[in-house]
Amino acid sequence: MTQFDPSAFAEVVGNLLRYLMWMIFAGLLAVGLCFGGGQLLCLVWNRDDRSSARRPLAGKSSFRRESARGITQIEAFLAAQGALGDTRKPPESAGDI
């Protein structure tokens, strides 16, 4: 059996405390960067830059044309469904079994 060496024990405890302090420091740094980075990202994202609002959107007329065509197709489909009526048989109730 070996003898207890207080200096070796102190070194192990010191290393453990140093490791734990680095973990705490790294965690706090990560939380701070996420919080501060998120705030900075929101600030940049929402800054008042209206230069893009002055430019006309590319393909805006084609978007409106395609939207109108799609809505027309949907309306025609729904009109055809309404003209045919509901030909499906209603589900049987649980009491009829």
pLDDT tens across 22-75, in order? 999 999 999 998 888 888 887 877 776 655 555 555 556 788 889 999 999 999
pLDDT-based confidence at residue 10 (cuts at 50, 70, 90): very high
Give me the pLDDT at residue 90, please. Answer: 58
Mean pLDDT score, 6-23: 95
Helix residue ranges per DSSP H, 1-97? 6-45, 51-54, 60-84
Give me the pLDDT at residue 40, please. Answer: 82
To the question of pTM greater than 0.85 for the whole model, the response is: no
Of 74, 91, 70, 94, the residue nearest 82 (C-alpha): 74
CA atoms within 13 A on the CB side of 66: 5
CA angle 78, 69, 55 (to 5 degrees): 140
Mean pLDDT score, 1-13: 87
The pLDDT of residue 21 is above 90: yes
Give the Cα separation of 79 and 9 in Å (integer).
Answer: 85
Q: Which residues lie closer than 8 Å to 57 by C-beta, 6 or more apart?
A: 63
